[in-house]
Chain A
Amino acid sequence: GIQVEQSPPDLILQEGANSTLRCNFSDSVNNLQWFHQNPWGQLINLFYIPSGTKQNGRLSATTVATERYSLLYISSSQTTDSGVYFCAVNAGGTSYGKLTFGQGTILTVHP
C-alpha cells in the first residue's frame, strides 16, 4: 500500500516563529488532507489539498502532486498551534475515502 512519511517528527518553537512541515507519499493520490490534533485528542481538518496551494489565515499548504509531497506552513506560531499535525492520503479509485495517515509531527509552541 501507499506509504506516507512526515518530517520532522518533533518540532519545538518560540511563539511568533514560522515553521514548515513536510509530507512525502509513495504513489499518486487523489485526496490529501492535513489535520491538527489538539492536546485533548480532537482532530480537526485543516486542508483538503490533493494539488495546488491553499491559505487559511496563518496556515497555508502546498501539494506538488507530480513530485509526491505536500508542505504545511505555519506563520507567526501561537501556543494554541501546539499539538500533532497529520497528513493523510487516499490513492484509491473508490468513493469510500479511505485514508492512510503519516506518523505525525508533534509541534510544541512555547510562550
Chain B
Amino acid sequence: DVKVTQSSRYLVKRTGEKVFLECVQDMDHENMFWYRQDPGLGLRLIYFSYDVKMKEKGDIPEGYSVSREKKERFSLILESASTNQTSMYLCASSFSGFREYQETQYFGPGTRLLVL
C-alpha cells in the first residue's frame, strides 16, 4: 500500500514564526504536491515538484516556499506565518506519466495549522 505521511496532524503557531510542514512518501513517486483546503474552495495547489530539487508554482504560491532535497521528502515552508495561512494542508504524491496508475494521486492525512 502507498503510504504518504505528514509530520504533524495539528499545529499551532504564532504570527511571524517560520513554519515547516514535512511530507514523506514511500512509493518512489516522482511527483509530489502541496495543497491547502479551505471551506467552500476545495483544494488549491500551492507548489509541486516533479523531481529532486525541481519545483514549480501552483495556483497560490504567495507566502510559501518548498524544498525537495530527497525524492521521498517534500517540505512546505511558511517563511513568516500569517493568520490568513490558517488552513488544512494536504500533501500528495504520484508517478509521472499518463496511465491510470501513474496519474492517480495519493494523499497524506493532512495538517491542520492554526496561526494566532
Contact = CB atoms under 8 A, between A and B. Distances in A.
B98 A101 contact: no
Could you say which interface size class chain B belongs to?
20 to 34
A31 B103 contact: yes
Given A40-B109, A86-B42, A98 B103 contact: no
Given A96-B31, A104-B42, A45 B48 contact: no
A28 interface: no
A53 B80 CA distance: 46
A42 B109 contact: yes
B50 interface: yes
A60 to B, nearest CB: 17
23 contacts: A1-B59, A9-B40, A41-B88, A41-B90, A41-B109, A42-B109, A43-B107, A45-B104, A45-B105, A45-B106, A86-B42, A86-B43, A88-B105, A90-B103, A95-B102, A96-B31, A96-B50, A97-B102, A98-B33, A98-B45, A102-B42, A103-B42, A104-B42
Interface of A: 1, 4, 9, 30-31, 33, 35, 40-45, 48, 86, 88, 90, 95-104
Interface of B: 31, 33, 35, 40-45, 48, 50, 56, 58-59, 88, 90, 92, 94, 96-98, 100, 102-107, 109-110, 112
